[in-house]
């Protein structure tokens, strides 16, 4: 019997008060689309504050990525910034380095410049820049995240549809 592809789920949902329930529902949705998920250890839901706990958590997460076939990451603007949760970015980079397939989802996939809440203008080279003159990435995320990833607008289910098309030749 062929083993089902295994997804590593990344994103800040685990930080929420109902993080365990959210991760359980996400795993159920993955199952509906024909994927298994990397088991989420209880230590993931415990607030870590020491360097040693952080290193242990990182090692545990990286082991999960080594075990998976693909990573699906919630790359929403974390805390209303134009960047995803830092742990998610690190996990995507590690997964890409290991040759895993990457899928990112976000509710609003317009370019960083279009989502920027501050003042912006075009510079002499016709690039969008902020009030400090720092240019924006051309896409919805940092170029080093977008380039190796399939980025979908929407939620986990939209990312699962894209992954299902790639892995099984169909959506769901």
Residue with more model confidence, 31 or 1: 31
Cβ neighbours, 10 Å, residue 120? 16
Query: What is the tens place of the pLDDT at every residue in 11-52?
Result: 998 888 898 999 999 999 999 999 999 988 776 666 777 888
Residue 50's pLDDT is what?
Answer: 85
Give the H or E element holding residue 149: strand 149-153
Domain extents in the chain: 6-108+149-168
Threshold 0.75, pTM exceeds: yes
Instruction: Tell me what the pLDDT averaged over the chain comes to.
Output: 91
Query: What is the tens place of the pLDDT at every residue in 124-138?
Result: 999 999 999 999 988
CA–CA dist 88, 10 (Å, integer): 6
Query: What is the tens place of the pLDDT at every residue in 65-98?
Result: 999 999 999 999 888 778 899 899 999 999 999 9
Whether CATH 3.40.920.10 fits 6-108+149-168 = no
CA–CA dist 64, 87 (Å, integer): 14
């Amino acid at each position: 019997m062929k083993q089902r592809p295994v997804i590593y789920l990344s994103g800040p949902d685990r930080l929420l008060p109902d993080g365990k329930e959210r991760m359980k529902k996400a795993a159920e949705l993955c199952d509906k689309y024909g994927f298994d998920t990397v088991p989420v250890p209880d230590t993931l839901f415990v607030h870590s504050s020491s360097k040693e706990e952080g290193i242990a958590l990182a090692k545990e997460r990286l082991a999960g990525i080594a075990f998976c076939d693909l990573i699906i990451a919630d790359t929403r603007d974390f805390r209303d910034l134009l960047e995803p949760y830092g742990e998610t970015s690190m996990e995507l980079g590690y997964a890409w380095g290991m040759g895993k397939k990457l899928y990112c989802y976000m509710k609003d996939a317009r370019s960083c410049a279009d989502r920027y809440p501050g003042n912006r203008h075009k510079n002499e080279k016709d690039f969008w820049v902020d009030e400090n003159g720092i240019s924006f990435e051309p896409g919805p995320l940092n170029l080093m995240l977008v380039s190796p990833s399939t980025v979908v607008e929407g939620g986990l289910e939209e990312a699962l549809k894209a992954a299902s098309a790639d892995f099984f030749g169909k959506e769901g």
